[in-house]
């Protein structure tokens, strides 16, 4: 069983302009003592067919994390449109928070 469970993610400043930073309110529950900080990463998936099109927008460590429920705002720069192929500029995409 995991010691950390993400319980909610709220997209803030939505809707917004594509070039504005992403903002997420992340709520999670810590079920036991953690030896290390939690590492969070925001990745923009630029293409379903090309892993090289992925853009890591933010990497951050949060801690120390107490046992119980915590939340924080995770902000990440907008993706670089120059790194997105023409056929992928408009349509469905994914932003991963890991």
Dump pLDDT digits (tens) for 9-57.
999 999 999 999 999 999 999 999 999 999 999 999 988 888 888 999 9
pLDDT tens figures, 51-73: 888 999 999 999 999 999 999 99
Q: What is the CA radius of gyration of the chain?
A: 15
**What domains are there in the chain, each with its CATH number?**
4-97 (2.60.40.1490)
What does the alpha-carbon distance between residue 77 and residue 75 come to, in Å, rounded to a whole number? Answer: 7
pTM of the model: 0.89
DSSP three-state, residue 86: helix
Q: Is the pLDDT of residue 86 over 90?
A: no
pLDDT at 35: 93
Residue 57 near residue 1 (C-beta atoms within 8 A): no
* Residue among 17, 60, 14, 11 at smallest CA distance from 40: 60
Q: Which residue has the tokens 């030896």?
A: 35
């Amino acid at each position: 069983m995991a010691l950390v469970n993400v319980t909610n993610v709220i997209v803030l400043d939505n809707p917004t302009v594509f070039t504005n930073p992403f903002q997420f309110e992340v709520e999670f529950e810590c079920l036991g003592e953690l030896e290390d900080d939690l590492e969070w990463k925001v990745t923009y998936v630029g293409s379903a067919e090309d892993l090289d099109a992925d853009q890591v927008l933010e990497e951050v460590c949060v801690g120390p994390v107490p046992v119980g429920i915590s939340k924080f705002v995770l902000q990440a720069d907008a993706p670089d449109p120059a790194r997105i192929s023409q056929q992928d500029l408009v349509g469905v995409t994914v932003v991963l928070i890991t």
